[in-house]
Structure formats: structure tokens, C-alpha cells
């Protein structure tokens, strides 16, 4: 099948590589021409503009966008007049689900399909495949099936306890009408925030379990906290048979194995929006999400956003009790 791919960053470029390996024809465009040329060597066709990309695609066209959320609106606006009835735009980035609903409605009058595709797999997707969460018209999603089957992981490597049926067992799913794919991906990433925070907090406690070994230890019951744990070994251990095993734990073990003290990281944790959007949806629907909320706020804290509050706490302690900072 032929596809046009706009955006050749870490995700987009590897998706093209996987599609090319699966026998698909890929026309690619990126504002950085060098990114496209790397894929030309593998069999892709490069375009120098959006118009050039559309011209190189045969009807009905499928154009997949893999761009940051802030760049999608501009791209869809520029792309829509170049397309004709029966064509399909796929937004595979992390965009708000409300935007997918609005974009689908705007394109409907021109009979252009819009599919919102939540894509999970990160930089490992080329090797492992991508988990694909799709929203939009069923017929449009069905037309994408050859691409989805190539991009998705398939059923190998999974040990199900329940007999799995349908495309979800292959790694892709039509989740519902416009916005459904990005809604499911939004919640997916909110859960990811919580899982990452739980691993980080647990390993942090293991790291500090030797607090009682310090000569000036002020830890209550210091005699109880005299452990020097091998964190890479514990992460590796938990990967094998533990109920907390996961791909995130695999990646945690890899990170600790490469750099046990994590000296290569400053601890400033970004958030790309999905956690905030998940909490907003939770507020709109009155769904309590204390874990995801705490995980998001922890990321704000890691970037120094609590510094003024922390200084004010110290100031109040000084005012009411003359307590010195330690």
C-alpha cells in the first residue's frame, strides 16, 4: 500500500522504516531534508513540499502526520486544500481528542476522512511494532488495515491467559468515532505517568535504605536502615516472574544497568500534555484520579515549580518558631 508520511522524527522515521520493510511504498516529507534523504536510501520517495508529497500519491491518498500537537493544525490546514474526496488524513501524534473531533467535522464537507491514531512504541517500535489506537469512520480505518497490520506487533511474543480475538490481539484497534483513538491514547499516557512515578518512588526508597549508615544519621530507628541495595540487580530480578514486571521495568533495568547512579540525568522531567488532558477529562466526567494527578504534579516539582512554595514553608517555620533551615 502507498502512504505519505509527514514528520520524520524519532517515531515517524522508524514507522517508515518498518513500512518499507513490509513492502509498502512511502512518500516522505520533513522540514529537514536530510531526514528524508536517509529514508530514500531505503527505498522511500522524498518530497520537497506538502504539495509535492500529495502529487506523488495515487488516489485515494493516505497521508499520515507524525508531528507535535502544536504543529498539526497548521499542517492539516495547509494539506486539506491539496486533497480530494476519498482521501484520508491520519494524525498519529499526541493531539487532544477534542481537536480530532473538530478536524474530522471540518473535513467532512470535502468528503476527506480524518483518522486520529494514538501510537505507542517509542524508539523501540521499529523492532517491536507499534500499539495503535484508532478513531474515525470505520470504512476509513478498514482501508488502513494493510498499514496497521505491518506497523502493529502482531501476536508473537505474547502469552495470553485468555483466548484473544479481533484486531486488538494483533496490536491495533478501531476504538470508536472521531477522537476515540486519541482519547484512549491520552488515558494510556496518563497511566504511564502513574506507573513511571511508582517505579521511581520505589527505587528511590531502595536507594535511601542505607540512611542509617551515615555517621550523623538522624533517621528514626537508624539501626533498621543499613542496606546497600544493588538497584540494577533488583530491577533485573523483578523482571523475572514478578507481578510488577512490565516493559517499563525492562527499560528501567536497562537504564540502571547503563548508569546505576543515573549521573547522566538531571532529574528535570517534562510533560508533553497528555497527563494534563487526562486530568481535565477526569474533572469533566467526575472521575477521581489521585495517582495520575500526583504523578503529574511530581513532574512539575522536578522542574522547580515548587521552589517558591518550599521557600515560603521555610519562611513560615522561621516566623512562628525560629526554625533554621537545615
Q: Which residues are catalytic?
A: 185, 192
Quick one: which of 88, 172, 94, 93 has its CA closest to 129? 172
Q: What would the DSSP string read from start to end of 14-57? A: HHHHHHHHTT-EEEEE-SSHHHHHHHHTTT-EE-SSHHHHHHTS
By three-state DSSP, how is residue 205 classified?
helix
DSSP E strands: which ranges in 48-156? 62-65, 88-91, 113-120, 131-135
Quick one: which of 130, 124, 81, 126 has its CA closest to 106? 81
Contacts of residue 159, defined as CB under 8 A and 6 or more positions apart, other chains included, come to none
Q: Give 281-286 contacts, CB < 8 A, sequence gap 24+.
A: 281/183, 281/186, 281/187
Amino acid at each position: 500500500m502507498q502512504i505519505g508520511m509527514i514528520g520524520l522524527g524519532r517515531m515517524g522515521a522508524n514507522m517508515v522504516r518498518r513500512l518499507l520493510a513490509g513492502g509498502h511504498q512511502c512518500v516522505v516529507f520533513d522540514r529537514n531534508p536530510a531526514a528524508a534523504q536517509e529514508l530514500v536510501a531505503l527505498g522511500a520517495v522524498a518530497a520537497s513540499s506538502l504539495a509535492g508529497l500529495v502529487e506523488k500519491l495515487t488516489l485515494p491518498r493516505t497521508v499520515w502526520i507524525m508531528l507535535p500537537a502544536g504543529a498539526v493544525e497548521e499542517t492539516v490546514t495547509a494539506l486539506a486544500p491539496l486533497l480530494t474526496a476519498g482521501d484520508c488524513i491520519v494524525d498519529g501524534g499526541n493531539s487532544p481528542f477534542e481537536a480530532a473531533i473538530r478536524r474530522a467535522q471540518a473535513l467532512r464537507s470535502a468528503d476527506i476522512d480524518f483518522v486520529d491514531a494514538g501510537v505507542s512504541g517509542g524508539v523501540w517500535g521499529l523492532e517491536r511494532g507499534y500499539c495503535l489506537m484508532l478513531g474515525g469512520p470505520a470504512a476509513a480505518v478498514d482501508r488502513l488495515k494493510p498499514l496497521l497490520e505491518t506497523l502493529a506487533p502482531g501476536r508473537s511474543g505474547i502469552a495470553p491467559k485468555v483466548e484473544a480475538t479481533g484486531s486488538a490481539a494483533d496490536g491495533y484497534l478501531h476504538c470508536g468515532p472521531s477522537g476515540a483513538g486519541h482519547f484512549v491514547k491520552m488515558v494510556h499516557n496518563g497511566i504511564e505517568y502513574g506507573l513511571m512515578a511508582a517505579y521511581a518512588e520505589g527505587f528511590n526508597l531502595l536507594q535511601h535504605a542505607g540512611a542509617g549508615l551515615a555517621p550523623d544519621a538522624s533517621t528514626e530507628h537508624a539501626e533498621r536502615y543499613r542496606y546497600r541495595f544493588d538497584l540494577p540487580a533488583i530491577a533485573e530480578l523483578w523482571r523475572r516472574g514478578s507481578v510488577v514486571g512490565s516493559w517499563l521495568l525492562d527499560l528501567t533495568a536497562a537504564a540502571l544497568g547503563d548508569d546505576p547512579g543515573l549521573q547522566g540525568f538531571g532529574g528535570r522531567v517534562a510533560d508533553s500534555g497528555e497527563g494534563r488532558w487526562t486530568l481535565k477529562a477526569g474533572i469533566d466526567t467526575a472521575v477521581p484520579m489521585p495517582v495520575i494527578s500526583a504523578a503529574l504534579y511530581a513532574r512539575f516539582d522536578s522542574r522547580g515549580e515548587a521552589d517558591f512554595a518550599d521557600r515560603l514553608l521555610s519562611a513560615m517555620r522561621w516566623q512562628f518558631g525560629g526554625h533554621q533551615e537545615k
